[in-house]
Structure 1
Amino acid sequence: MTGPADPADRRPAPPAGGALCAVVLAAGEGTRLRPLTERVPKALCPVGNVPLLDRALARLAGLGLAGPATVAVNACYLGDQVVERVGDRAHLSVEPGSPLGTAGGVGKLRDWIAGRGVLVGNADAYLADPARPPGPDIAALLDGWDGETVRLLGQPAADPGAPGTFDGHVFTGFSLLPWSLVRDLPPVFGDLVRALWRPAEAAGRLSVVGYPGTFIDTGTPADYLAANLHAAGDGCLIDPAARVTGRCHRSVVGAGATVRGALTRSVVWPGATVDTSEHLRDVIRAGADLTVPAS
């Protein structure tokens, strides 16, 4: 006789509208995170020593969505790095020239989506559910879905009436879209807010599903650092392949990094160095020559 299923092992039932696939959006330039994103696309920036894209793929795998038949990743800016990182873990959609935006990126994948409902996630969204890391904690988006409405994952907004909110909530990185709306998305530049979400809201076909965990939009150096510090908890998160002989307080140190100096609330990227004379505080260090303050 078996006991009740562990919530972390729960898989969502197929939506009423039929089969489901997922798209991770990883094509953007990450301009607000420059100069870090001049070297690495935002989707591959590490949080807690794990690239954001890998976190998104792990979250989808927790829902039973994995492999190129059910998960796609789009790429454009520094796309060769994204393509190499994804490998055969997902279907790849490489956008030529400039990124097509959130709507255009999904539109370019219409032939691959091919009649399915699609769970769309932003690679740069940091979601954390301490009870079930990395969780199928977005499974509530799928529960009872009729296959015809738009659902957004969200959290209550500080100002419920502020622009960019939906039913008093801020968007937290994942949406669920029906094929009936996706099939008409053209593969040209556009965003999902204007192309699908607001029209669906006006037609009474949009709802917000609450996300009770931690959400951080990693778009700025300050928010990117905040996500890393959240991943580190109350201590330091040091990759086993890093060499740290200096002092470390509430910081994250990547693989192959060398820290001889001191760190306070900072992130040291893989392979980066911190010299003996340095005390980094509230910054991100990449390589030996780039230090980005979080303020």
Structure 2
Amino acid sequence: MSDYPAIVLAAGEGTRLRPLTRNRPKPMLPVATKPILEHVFDQLLDAGITEFVVVVGYRHERIQSYFGPRYRNAPITYVTQEKQLGTGHALLAAESVVEGTALVINGDQVVDSRIIRDVLTTHESGAAATIALLQRSNVDEYGGVRIEDGQVTRIVENPRDDEIYHLNAGVYAFEELAFDAVRDAEPRAGEHLLVDGLSELVDAGHDVNGAVSEGIWVDATYPWDLLDISFELFDTGVVEGDRPTDGLDAATVHGSAVVREPVVVSRDCTIEPGAVVGPYVCLDENVTVGSNAVVKRSVIDADSRIKDNATVIECVTGTGVTIGAGSTIPGGPGDVHVKDRVFENEKLGALLADRVRDGGGVTYVPGAIVGAGSELQAGTTVRGTLAAKTEVRS
């Protein structure tokens, strides 16, 4: 058990995961039927951290109402970042409620307890901070860190040069000096970034340790990443997918249905006659898979309905989605539009945000994204990105 409290940064929206984050923050998106933040809490507890300070902001009520004041007997203190002005700003919002050394962790990335333990064991009293590092072939989308003899010598966000970097895993041990450095760092584009404070420490000659770990680290940056994360948690054993249901007595699986591992089927789910579910499927609470429907490599959120004879492959849904009888989501690859970028050949059959309803016989072109509350009439074809509350007529 560690005496350090954990400051969990969970204030952001996750704009590149829209429209799934229209009604909830990124840390509350489901991975293998549990919110990302719940996975973070579980791994912290497994590493011996028993006190959480959670920085919330965007849609904070979704986090606070879900977890309440405690999680598995660990007390939770909530601190609100009223405006999302960067990771450094979020960290400083929690400074007044911690004393001495603190562990700092991103609440919207799944890391296993080995990474957390490696930071705790590497951190020494003489160091101002310690950063968890991973060996990755490509760190372009994240933070790159150079180390020499266990000491951090350079930190670069989104490096584009030919140097070899370790990936910054977003787990840190901070001393008071590190908080001061974050406060003093110059903001960029109106945001105070945590890594800029760490760079200030390195440039000033203070010891910043690098804790190189082989632990599991997965991040959801884009919609299709929610599939990859869930599947990796299956493959690495973090989530057990060798049982047909998560609580067999709480789900109804017809004797003629086929459930192919790995899967997680939550309570109050119904899998009707002739349906095929799996492999690599996560069904959250109260999902119905209709007769002779096929669901593969998909993450289906709570209260959703997949009706008879539908085919659903490489699909991510929000809550309360209805995929009508005979509708077809054939799976990727497809071109996906995210904000002002087009990502080619991604393995995403479709993303259906909260309360999307199709009337049956709908065909989804790979890479389709459908905004919350949209209505798709029977027999239509859906392609590209649809805004919230769009009505598509045949």
TM-score by length of structure 2 reads 0.61
For the Cα contact (< 8 Å) 1:225–1:267, is it kept in 2? yes
| CA RMSD, 1 decimal | 2.9
Pick the aligned partner of 1:104 from 89, 95, 110: 89
Q: Is 1:81 aligned to residue 65 of structure 2?
A: no
Q: Distance in 1 between matches of 2:64 and 2:101?
A: 24
Q: Distance in 1 between matches of 2:142 and 2:41?
A: 30
Q: Which residue of 2 aligns with 1:26?
A: 10
Q: Distance in 2 between matches of 1:162 and 1:219?
A: 9
Structure having the higher strand fraction is 2
Q: Distance in 2 between matches of 1:172 and 1:263?
A: 33
3-state SS of 2:5 partner: strand
For the Cα contact (< 8 Å) 2:144–2:167, is it kept in 1? yes
Shift of 1:232: 4.8
Deviations 1:69-114 (A, max 9, x none): x211111111222222231021000122x21321111112122112
Q: Distance in 2 between matches of 1:36 and 1:24?
A: 21
Q: Which residue of 2 aligns with 1:91?
A: 77
For the Cα contact (< 8 Å) 1:149–1:177, is it kept in 2? yes
The equivalences for 1:64-143 within 5 A come to 64-66=48-50, 70-89=51-70, 90-96=76-82, 98-114=83-99, 116-128=100-112, 135=113, 137-143=115-121
For the Cα contact (< 8 Å) 1:45–1:52, is it kept in 2? yes
Q: How many residues align?
A: 267
Structure 1 gap segments, 5+ residues each: 1-10, 129-134
The structure-2 alpha-carbon separation of the partners of 1:85 and 1:183, relative to structure 1 and needing over 3 Å to count, comes to farther
Pick the aligned partner of 2:317 from 250, 268, 273: 268
Structure 2 gap segments, 5+ residues each: 71-75, 147-164, 236-261, 263-278, 332-347, 358-367, 371-383, 386-394
The structure-2 alpha-carbon separation of the partners of 1:184 and 1:144, relative to structure 1 and needing over 3 Å to count, comes to closer
Q: Distance in 2 between matches of 1:266 and 1:175?
A: 34
For the Cα contact (< 8 Å) 1:232–1:252, is it kept in 2? no
Q: Which residue of 2 aligns with 1:52?
A: 36
Q: Which residue of 2 aligns with 1:131?
A: none
The structure-2 alpha-carbon separation of the partners of 1:58 and 1:38, relative to structure 1 and needing over 3 Å to count, comes to same
The equivalences for 1:78-227 within 5 A come to 78-89=59-70, 90-96=76-82, 98-114=83-99, 116-128=100-112, 135=113, 137-147=115-125, 148-158=127-137, 164-167=143-146, 168-182=165-179, 185-186=182-183, 189-195=191-197, 197-202=198-203, 203-227=205-229
Q: Which residue of 2 aligns with 1:36?
A: 20
Identity among equivalent positions (%) equals 21
Q: Which residue of 2 aligns with 1:287?
A: 354
Bigger Cα displacement from structure 2, 40-49 vs 257-266: 257-266
Q: Distance in 2 between matches of 1:52 and 1:124?
A: 6
Shift of 1:284: 2.8
For the Cα contact (< 8 Å) 1:108–1:186, is it kept in 2? no
Structure having the higher helix fraction is 1
3-state SS of 1:77 partner: coil
3-state SS of 1:173 partner: strand
The structure-2 alpha-carbon separation of the partners of 1:157 and 1:198, relative to structure 1 and needing over 3 Å to count, comes to farther
For the Cα contact (< 8 Å) 1:229–1:265, is it kept in 2? no
TM-score by length of structure 1 reads 0.80
For the Cα contact (< 8 Å) 1:153–1:173, is it kept in 2? yes
The structure-2 alpha-carbon separation of the partners of 1:220 and 1:160, relative to structure 1 and needing over 3 Å to count, comes to closer
| Partner AA of 2:323 in structure 1 | V
Shift of 1:249: 1.3
Q: Distance in 2 between matches of 1:160 and 1:229?
A: 21
3-state SS of 2:226 partner: helix
Q: Which residue of 2 aligns with 1:248?
A: 295
Q: Which residue of 1 aligns with 2:258?
A: none
Shift of 1:137: 4.6
Deviations 1:173-222 (A, max 9, x none): 21111123225654995111112x21233325223222323322212123
For the Cα contact (< 8 Å) 1:249–1:264, is it kept in 2? yes
Q: Which has the larger radius of gyration?
A: 2
| Partner AA of 2:284 in structure 1 | D
- Larger RCO (CA within 8 A; separation ≥ 6): 1
| Partner AA of 1:243 in structure 2 | T
